[in-house]
Amino acid sequence: MSWGTSIARLELVRAWRDPVMRAMLILFLIAAGYAALTGARWAEQRQLAVQEAVAKADEIMGKRRDEFAAMVAKGEKPNFGLIYASALPFRAGLPNAPLAALSAGQAEGYPAAANVAPFADPWAMFDSHATGLESPAVLAAGRFDLAFVIVVLMPLLLLAATYDFWARDVENGSARFQLAQPVRPAKLILTRALVRGGSILLGAMLIACGWLLAAGGQHMRDIAVLAMVILAYGAFWIALAILINLLVRVSTTAALAGGTAWLAIVLLLPAVAVAVAELAAPPPSAMAYTNAVRVAGLEVREANRSAARQAATAESGRAYPASLWHSRGEALQRDARLGPIHRAYAEGWARHRALEDRLRFLSPAVIAQDALDRVAGTDAGRATAFQRQARDFAAEARKLAFDWMDKDRLMTLADYDRPLLRFEFVEPPRSGPLLRDILALLLFTALVLAPAALRLRQGAAKLL
């Protein structure tokens, strides 16, 4: 048996016999199971809420159809709300991604549905879905999902397993004996760290993926990406434990160093990054935006006041009344006037998000969170892609209504019996950002391993 195999076997036995390790792994198993359960429940409720919001359009159309049919049966002419395409209600909804149970991510910070109407402002269609009624305390604490377990708890598990794997031996003197064996110090220390940390990491990865599969995540390609993210993130923490063990000779100091590093990477650095983003590229003022939109809307209304009054009593001589032709023109004017205000506000937010996206590279914890959100489909990119697609859908709905108006085409019973327009969400590409996240995690690992390698090159004497 080679030295490498002997070291690996010995380390595996030591790790297995450590009761703290077993206890930590069991705690992780329970925490991950509970997180997968709450994540699955959250994802199910969210999907239901979106379905409920989208089904509203069908419900309205169903009621109108019954009314339409009843009036026709009585020989009456259906009234204007039932026959004009301009009154058509549409809904757009953002469906869950296959692994939504993994992370709530930013899903609760963005609207997941839109009320689309042909004449309505396409930027205001998210308003009634912008704020859910989730418990603010839950939002403040953050969801206890698998992403939390992986980003926050898994590093603690890895640090608990490896924080003094070498420092303790230096402290009790057995390191001197180990270095006296005919094996290169680098091979000895790296093999021990990889076996001890790697076995825990592998276990954690299998537990997380296993629970997610049990919670209904059936998309194997996404599960494989999740496994890669977990391994890349875990590798960083094992590398950090190696570096700490090479620099510190006392077990307690190693624990303090590991704890401080965890605190800095998981709590402090992200908090500082948030503060920097708030100061360097603050989000645009919602109050100023609200007032600006209202003023511009009033100005358009004022400019059209007398025309609207005339249109209310005028005859159009066509299938659609003059008031609707006027509303159509006013809607176009309003959109032209409000468009720049909406776009400026959206660009302000985009700048803020772009800076936050760059600042995520300050901390491996944020990178891992970002990658997990993307795997779960609860990232900001997917939410903003939904908004863009919903606006495109609104443009389609408007085009349909305008075409029918131009052709003097009124709604018929047959129109109620077929879906006129349906919103289908197209998944935006995410392999690029995910690859960047995984590469960034590996780069962090390499950056931490570089000083460790230098330390190992200084010879065995420096390791005692």
Partner 1 sequence: MRAGGAVPVVAGLQWRLLVRDRRLMLLGLALLLLLCTAAMTGAALQTAQEAERQAAQAEEARVWAMQGAANPHGAAHFGRYLFKPLSPLAVMDPGLLPQLGTSLKLEAHANNPARHRAIDGGTSLDRFGGLSPATMLQVLVPLLIILSAFATFSGERARGLLRQELATGIAPGKLMAGRLLGVGAMLLLLLLAATLAGIGALWLAGGAAGQIVPLLWMGLGYALYLLSFAALTLAASATFSSARTSLVAMLAFWAMATLFVPRIAPTFAEARAPTLSGPAFEAAVTREVMEGPSGHDPRDARLERLRQDTMRRYGVTRLEDLPVDFNGVALLHGEALSTDIYRRHFAALYDGYDRQAAIQRRFSLLSPAQAMRPWSAAMAQTDQQAHRRFLEQADRFRFELVQKLNRAIIHRPRDIEGPYMADVAAITGDMRFVAEPVWAQEALARHWADLAILLAWAGLSVLLAFAAARRLGRAGA
Q: Which of residues 346-385 bind partner 1 (CB under 8 A)?
A: 349, 352-353, 356-357, 359-360, 365-366, 369-370, 373, 379-380
- Could you tell me which stretch among 7-15, 82-90, 212-220, 289-297 binds partner 1 (CB under 8 A)? 289-297
To partner 1, the closest distance from the beta carbon of 221 in angstroms equals 21
d(CA 192, CA 168): 13
Of 70, 298, 336, 413, the one binding partner 1 by CB under 8 A: 298
Residue 20: in which H helix or E strand, if any? helix 19-73
Identify the CA nearest to 428 among candidates 389, 395, 392. Answer: 389
Q: 91 vs 455, which CB is nearer to partner 1?
A: 91
Q: 117 and 228 in contact (C-beta within 8 Å)? A: no
CB atoms within 10 A of CB 345: 20
**Considering the rule CB under 8 A, would residue 49 count as an interface residue with partner 1?**
yes
d(CA 286, CA 346): 11
To partner 1, the closest distance from the beta carbon of 8 in angstroms equals 27
H-state helical runs in 74-108: 80-83
- Could you tell me which stretch among 177-185, 250-258, 391-399, 413-421 binds partner 1 (CB under 8 A)? 250-258
Residue with tokens 């290169």: 184
d(CA 261, CA 241): 10
DSSP reduced 3-state for 114? strand
d(CA 325, CA 330): 9
Positions in 255-274 near partner 1 (CB under 8 A): 255-256, 259, 263, 266-268, 270-274
194 token code pair: 């990889």
- Could you tell me which stretch among 71-79, 109-117, 328-336, 388-396 binds partner 1 (CB under 8 A)? 109-117
d(CA 437, CA 97): 19
State the binding string over 299-338 for partner 1 (x if CB under 8 A, else -).
Answer: ---x------x--x--------------------------
**Considering the rule CB under 8 A, would residue 62 count as an interface residue with partner 1?**
no
Residue 93: in which H helix or E strand, if any? strand 90-93
**Considering the rule CB under 8 A, would residue 285 count as an interface residue with partner 1?**
yes
Of 136, 182, 429, 432, the one binding partner 1 by CB under 8 A: 136
**Considering the rule CB under 8 A, would residue 70 count as an interface residue with partner 1?**
no
Q: 124 vs 443, which CB is nearer to partner 1?
A: 124
Rounded to an integer, what is the distance from CA 357 to the centroid of its chain?
12
To partner 1, the closest distance from the beta carbon of 295 in angstroms equals 6
To partner 1, the closest distance from the beta carbon of 144 in angstroms equals 4
Identify the CA nearest to 89 among candidates 113, 112, 70. Answer: 113
d(CA 145, CA 352): 26
Q: 59 vs 406, which CB is nearer to partner 1?
A: 59
To partner 1, the closest distance from the beta carbon of 383 in angstroms equals 9
d(CA 280, CA 15): 47
Positions in 137-176 near partner 1 (CB under 8 A): 137-144, 148, 152-153, 156
d(CA 189, CA 244): 12
Q: 92 vs 449, which CB is nearer to partner 1?
A: 92
Q: 290 vs 458, which CB is nearer to partner 1?
A: 290
State the binding string over 22-41 for partner 1 (x if CB under 8 A, else -).
Answer: ------------x---x--x
